[in-house]
Structure 1
Amino acid sequence: MLILSLMDIWDFNLRHLRAAATIGHLGTISAAAQAIHISQPAITQGIARLETQLAQPLFERRTEGMVATEAGRLLFPRIETALTQIASPRVTMTQIRAIIALASAGSYSGASAVTGLAQPSLHRAVGDLSVALKKSLVERRGKGVALTEQGRRTVRRFRLARAELEAGLSELTALLGRETGRLAIGAMPLSRARILPAAVATFHRDHPDVAIHIVEGAFHELIEPLRDGEIDLMIGALRDPSPGPDLRQRRLFEDRPVVIGRKDHPASKGSPSLKALAGYPWIIPATGTPLRAVWVRMFAERSIKLPDVPIACGSVITIRQILVDSDFLTLLSPDQVAVELEAGWLSRIADIPKEFIRTIGTTTRAEWRPTAMQTKFIRILEAISESS
């Protein structure tokens, strides 16, 4: 019998998954056979194959029909959501894998290296997919290929379908007594300083078999991977207004930045006013970020001309190095430069008015249904945020 923890979603047959979910909905093999136009013997064989792959039954066989087991009740909604994203009974797992790999690698040779599939097989799968969907998915660009707009939309849906099926496998693995799977986190700058490392360390101690993948970046770098299902959640400063109806933001805590400068900065003597601080050059993230908005409001609401910003930057590593060697000022959470403050390389120049805060939290897809394992991580993250 195959071990579920070693299974990959590409090992499954979409027809078998569709049949299982349909039986779960209709209650009998005969009803499912009529609904999806597959013979009863083929469905029976497919379900047997699927249950062998999953190493657990999906149904209780009764005289009045088929009743979903706990494994079935967990998996079937995931399958249904994935099939809604795929949106065609003519699509196969091989085709989904091929187009996702091509989109990620940018070439057939790269997709072949990632998947281990021969390039002719990938070409054929993508071509068959275009025929099945009646859409042009890729186009030639010089010596390479690129996705069309229809291709990009298709890949996004397929990636979300993949995420649902992977979540389903993770939940079924947990039923067998072993929590596995992957937790993909998009980490914006502030989250990396304190709450994310603490949450990850705590979670890993309790769930050592779960792979944790952290992708660092700014909001604009992480938002599309989140929408694609490549990452599960983002942690960092929330946006106001919300970035879109397809996303959900949840508050963790409020952060009050402070003015930071180098050791022995001219402004560090006494209690400088905002007007005095406006006389120095600043390094601040680009327009459109929550911290930049706080900084602008801080001066604008007191009718103080905005200081010069010769350098717009959101990288804490870059900012702190520039501060050490110049008279630049910035706004940062003390947590982000705790080591530098403690070592005396940087200094806390001034506090900002209490009303100028930013909200730190999580951003997820609005329709995202976290697994039990992912929910545990979120609860740990919330507990650490509340206790800080």
Structure 2
Amino acid sequence: MDQLPRKAAQALDEMTSVFHLNLRHIHGLIEVHKHGSISAAATAVSLSQPALTQGILKLESQLGEVLFERRPDGIVPTLAGTLVLERAAASIGHLTAGCRLIAGADFSPERRLTMTQLRAFLALSKAGSFAASAIELGLSQTAVHRAVRELEDALGRRLVERRGRGVHINFWGHRFARCCWLAIKELQAALSELGLDPLNPMISVGATPLARAFLVPEAMSLMVTEKFPASFRVVEGSWGDLVESLRDGEIDLIVGELPETSVSDLKCTRLYTEAPVIVAGHQHDLVAKGNPTNQTLASYPWIIAPEASPLRAEWDRLLPGKRAQKPVECGSIMIIGRLLTCSDMLTLAMPDQVALQIRSGLLAQIGKPLASSITIGATMRHSWRPTSAQRRFLNLLHIASTSLGETASRKPMIEAPWV
């Protein structure tokens, strides 16, 4: 609830056209494919045959595509129809999971809920107040309040609680909002695949400190060079900071260190493995002195990475049982670089994080890389179904990573120019 209303507007503006779709029509689309006829599907969705026919025609008009072809053996989806059906089924699946978590196993969201209700609730969950939500949606507060209350009445559970002048999304509200966002993201992906996304489409990338210096911008630049019609949003933070945004669908993937243990709802793709290096300012008295002993290293002040970060774990392994002399805890390579150049401090970093500063002579590597390594890769939701643009970006991450790590075919980043 600490997000600014502007962020809500940004998220919702990207998906405005999605909220113009009708949930019952989307469900009807799925049932037509399942039964192979309008008449059988109409019975399944409790609509008259003419009403369902008009619903499908409206969807086709909104999407600018013919979704079904009539053949002697029944109604079959076109290529565009197949694409939309796959995304629609995934979307209804996410929404059904959220509804049944809240309202029980027999709840059918496509019959009980509307896009107007979902849009109002998601705006509220982001903006934090009915007033801000109403402004961002261009509606009255009464209309937003009514839509949210109708949603709660349909689900039979309160999702929003008043706190003073504001509102609080409770536990069930957060669980439901996550499922709703994932459902909306699937429909947005369908629009992207059909070329209807005004952002051409958007790829949201979470970048950790260990991947944002080279890997992420390199893959992005390769995609820009290809003139691939896509735009990017990069969110920076630690893996722990980003993972809930990944689960909520706010970002598509996290690029950085991989978790040490598997997580049931996430999948990981390894890109490369690399050993951290000890780094100091160019003026440090350990420069060009070979490999210092651990006792020597422990005698200097250190800049150590934040708790629960992979570089912090490497530091703990390097100097077990030791406490850094006058330690500075920091994850910003810009701040670290400045501290190193004006002191006798040491730090641990990944080679590509400090490659430019080392080649420019501001920093220096002390000794050889550590014996242990950190695995860098991409973390994604198990349920994530990437669009063609997202798949291309994943491919380019693999291409960019071939110049990194212990098995790279060319010189290390510290020696090989990349700017």
TM-score (norm 2): 0.85
> What is the Cα deviation at residue 269 of structure 1?
5.3
Q: Provide the aligned length of Structure 1 versus Structure 2.
A: 377
**1:361 aligns to what?**
377
**1:71 aligns to what?**
80
- Partner of residue 322 from structure 1, selected from 321, 325, 339: 339
Question: Would you identify which runs of 4 or more consecutive aligned residues in structure 1 move more than 3 Å?
Answer: 304-309
SS in 1 for 2:161: strand
CA contact 2:208–2:238 (8 Å) conserved in 1? yes
SS in 1 for 2:367: strand
- Matches of 2:288 and 2:295 in 1, distance apart? 15
- Matches of 1:23 and 1:128 in 2, distance apart? 29
- Partner of residue 373 from structure 1, selected from 382, 389, 393: 389
**1:254 aligns to what?**
273
> What is the Cα deviation at residue 151 of structure 1?
0.4
TM-score (norm 1): 0.91
> What is the Cα deviation at residue 311 of structure 1?
2.3
**2:10 aligns to what?**
none
CA distance 1:384–1:193, change in 2 (3 Å): same
In structure 2, what residue type is equivalent to 1:77? E
Q: Which moved more, 1:149-158 or 1:54-63?
A: 54-63
Deviations along 1:338-375, whole A, 9 cap, x unmatched? 33223322221222333x11000000001211112211
**1:31 aligns to what?**
40
Deviations along 1:194-218, whole A, 9 cap, x unmatched? 1111111111233453221111112
Identity %: 41
- Partner of residue 314 from structure 2, selected from 290, 294, 310: 294
**1:194 aligns to what?**
214
CA contact 2:276–2:370 (8 Å) conserved in 1? no
Deviations along 1:111-140, whole A, 9 cap, x unmatched? 223322322211111111101111101001
Q: Which runs of 5+ in 2 are unaligned?
A: 1-13, 97-108, 405-419
- Matches of 1:383 and 1:237 in 2, distance apart? 17
CA distance 1:351–1:110, change in 2 (3 Å): farther
CA contact 1:218–1:314 (8 Å) conserved in 2? no
Deviations along 1:223-282, whole A, 9 cap, x unmatched? 11100011100101111023x210111110112111111221233251222221111122
CA contact 1:79–1:165 (8 Å) conserved in 2? yes
**2:330 aligns to what?**
313
- Matches of 1:91 and 1:311 in 2, distance apart? 52
| Match status 1:225 vs 2:245 | yes
In structure 1, what residue type is equivalent to 2:246? L
- Partner of residue 53 from structure 1, selected from 59, 62, 67: 62
> What is the Cα deviation at residue 6 of structure 1?
10
- Matches of 1:331 and 1:161 in 2, distance apart? 41
> What is the Cα deviation at residue 323 of structure 1?
2.1
In structure 1, what residue type is equivalent to 2:272? F
Q: Which runs of 5+ in 1 are unaligned?
A: none
Deviations along 1:154-206, whole A, 9 cap, x unmatched? 100001101111111111228x9x99321110111122111111111111233
CA contact 1:179–1:207 (8 Å) conserved in 2? no
**2:11 aligns to what?**
none
CA contact 2:305–2:329 (8 Å) conserved in 1? yes
SS in 2 for 1:310: strand
**2:131 aligns to what?**
109
